Amino acid sequence: MIAWDENKWQRNIREHGLDFVGCDSVFDCPVVVWDDDRNAYGELRINLLGFLNGVVVHLTYTERGDDLHVISLRKAEKHEIRYFAQELSK
């Protein structure tokens, strides 16, 4: 199940123009995944690049029990799109 914090959800819509609702469809296509170890978050955060409605997006989430807890969702930056394409071509 996909879950999120309601305040974070509203902020993500304002800041990135993307809604967490329906973001689980990103898992229907090939994805590139790596651990986000830039900071000590207190939990493992996972970064994902994948397609959402035909656009490459960057999704950050964590696993909490059986749920995937969404932290942020935004359009991928150019360098991330290049990385995504390189990884998929391997």
Segment 19-73, tens digit of pLDDT: 999 999 999 999 999 998 887 778 899 999 999 999 999 999 999 999 999 999 9
For the chain, what is the domain count? 1
What pLDDT does residue 69 have?
Answer: 97
Residue 77 in this model has a pLDDT that exceeds 90: yes
Residue 80 in this model has a pLDDT that exceeds 90: yes
Using a 10 angstrom Cβ sphere, with 0-12 exposed, 13-18 middle and 19 or more buried, the burial of residue 21 is exposed
Q: What CATH number is given to the structural domain containing 46?
A: 3.10.450.530
What pLDDT does residue 40 have?
Answer: 75
What is the per-residue DSSP string for 4-72?
E-HHHHHHHHHHHS--STTGGGGGGS--EEEEE-SS--SS-EEEEEEEETTEEEEEEEEEETTEEEEEE
What pLDDT does residue 78 have?
Answer: 98
Q: Which amino acid is at 30?
A: P
* Domain, as residue range, for 43: 2-88
Q: Give Cα separations from 12 to 3, 27, 39 (angstroms).
A: 14, 20, 20
| pTM summary value | 0.93
